[in-house]
């Protein structure tokens, strides 16, 4: 089994690259999707930790995490450590679930962990065969996010919440430079596919 990770800042084109690898037959484990699944069906341990910190109201009547209530509890008030506390609770649970999903896949699989916050969470340790980082320049990044309807404050906040695209690229084993066309990005993805599968 080959286990890689794919990361990149908002507007860099990570989803486009991920879709290419998926279409090629590689298994994609989307960290955001794992988080959503866990919020829909949290285990006993996660429920207990969340309610211990923010009260019973963060769990909905159907047993799922009440995301609006949790967000309100985490981001309101004078508690400046709310986000860090939430991450400290949720990220290890996501890490365990990602590992479990990888272990269920066939041994001849190529697996991509798709995670924007890969380095921030330490999940890059799961990528035993290297990290792929997708990069674009800041001007292009902002332009793409504006096209999604984001305002300047949203763009600045999202970009500031992650380590820079430059640092992600510097730390990765493989790089994708997404500054021109989708076709050019696909050509770079194809080179990575050929490199990984040649070394199986």
pLDDT in tens, 93-122: 999 999 999 999 999 999 999 999 999 999
Q: How many CB atoms lie within 10 A of CB 154?
A: 14
Neighbour-count burial of 65, counting CB atoms closer than 10 A to its CB (0-12 exposed, 13-18 middle, 19+ buried): buried
C-alpha–C-alpha distance, residues 141 and 36, integer Å: 26
Does the pTM of the predicted model rise above 0.85?
Answer: yes
pLDDT in tens, 158-180: 888 889 999 999 999 999 999 99
Domains of the chain plus CATH, in order, are: 1-26+109-195 (3.40.50.300)
């Amino acid at each position: 089994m080959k286990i890689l990770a794919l990361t990149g800042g908002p507007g860099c084109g990570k989803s486009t690259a991920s879709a290419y690898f998926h279409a090629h037959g590689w298994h994609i484990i989307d960290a955001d999707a794992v988080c959503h699944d866990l919020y829909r069906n949290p285990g006993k341990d996660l429920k207990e930790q969340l309610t211990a910190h923010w009260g019973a109201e963060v769990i909905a009547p159907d047993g799922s995490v009440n995301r609006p209530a949790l967000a309100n509890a985490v981001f309101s008030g004078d508690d400046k450590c709310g986000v860090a506390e939430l991450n400290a609770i949720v990220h290890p649970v996501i890490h365990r679930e990602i590992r479990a999903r990888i272990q269920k896949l066939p041994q001849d699989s190529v697996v991509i962990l798709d995670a924007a916050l890969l380095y921030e969470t330490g999940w890059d340790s799961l990528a035993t065969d290297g990290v792929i980082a997708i990069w674009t320049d800041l001007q292009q990044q902002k332009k793409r996010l504006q096209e999604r309807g984001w305002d300047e404050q949203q763009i600045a906040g999202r970009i500031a919440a992650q380590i820079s695209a430059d640092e992600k690229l510097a730390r990765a084993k493989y790089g994708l430079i997404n500054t021109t066309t989708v076709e050019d990005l696909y050509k770079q993805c194809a080179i990575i596919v050929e490199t990984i599968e040649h070394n199986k």
